[in-house]
A and B are shown apart, each in its own frame.
Chain A
């Protein structure tokens, strides 16, 4: 019994392997490019937000300068609170107090521009939890 085992690639096998490998590489390359691109866009958004926050803070400091200049002339400020927009949804709110012709910075905080309307959304279920 002299049987010979024939283990050779048939015609077309390298093409199938090539298609599989190139397809895998293409998917991996696309995924890595998409991830890198979304990461870069997120970083850009974050950097833009930082710049916007400091722009609002600069406007607040300029307002303080204006109020202090008014106080030196004996003019009291119209309001002790001012709001400076950071984004469409956020603003930097500054509160001061004026005592004996001198201004004092009391508070500087980020606030939401729009107040959440609880009645806007209908209840999802009608069960009575507490009576």
Chain B
């Protein structure tokens, strides 16, 4: 080896070791980032699920209370629509992202009618098909009316309990 080439050779060797280390570091960082990004994505997904569940429970409670305050003649299957931020929608105000459906079931007893409501909150998928709806929360509630409903002639036998 020529003595004049020695410093240059050592410099090249040092640079190549540094570059090799940098490549290994970048590769390891890429692998670690891939794993950590998945953890961040999972946290984001969980946070979204928590928000949707919380708002779905609130929407179900709201639908239940609305149904329970109706007079028995007005009770029917109703849907309450919400946008992507869980803001209530009026008819034709925008595409809904969620809805709460309250389905009543009348059970006529000896002296009155026990109405069972099944409130289901669903998320509407992008395809907007009935199959593409994700159930978020279901609530069961009952309300007793002192009188027999629904009646064919629309009359009421007795007054309500409350």
Contact = CB atoms under 8 A, between A and B. Distances in A.
Contacts of A73: 110
Nearest to A37: B46
Contacts of B54: 43, 46-47
A11 interface: yes
Contact of B36 (A29, A43, A68, A72): A29
B144 interface: yes
Contact of A65 (B56, B139, B144): B144
A25 B29 CA distance: 11
B161 A36 contact: no
A69 B112 CA distance: 7
A9 interface: yes
A71 interface: yes
A76 interface: no
Interface string B148-162: 000000000000011
Contacts of B161: 64, 68, 103-105
B77 interface: no
Contact of B50 (A30, A43, A58): A43
A58 B141 contact: yes
B114 A61 contact: yes
A42 B50 CA distance: 9
A57 B28 contact: no
Most central of B64, B116, B144, B146 by chain A CB within 10 Å: B144
Contacts of A55: 140
B53 A43 contact: yes
Contacts of B111: 65, 68-69, 71-72
Given A22-B32, A33-B46, A43-B50, 12 more contacts: A11-B18, A14-B22, A18-B29, A25-B32, A26-B32, A33-B42, A35-B43, A36-B44, A43-B51, A43-B57, A50-B60, A72-B111
17 contacts: A9-B18, A11-B18, A14-B22, A33-B43, A43-B53, A47-B137, A50-B57, A50-B60, A50-B139, A54-B64, A54-B139, A65-B114, A68-B110, A68-B112, A68-B146, A69-B112, A72-B111
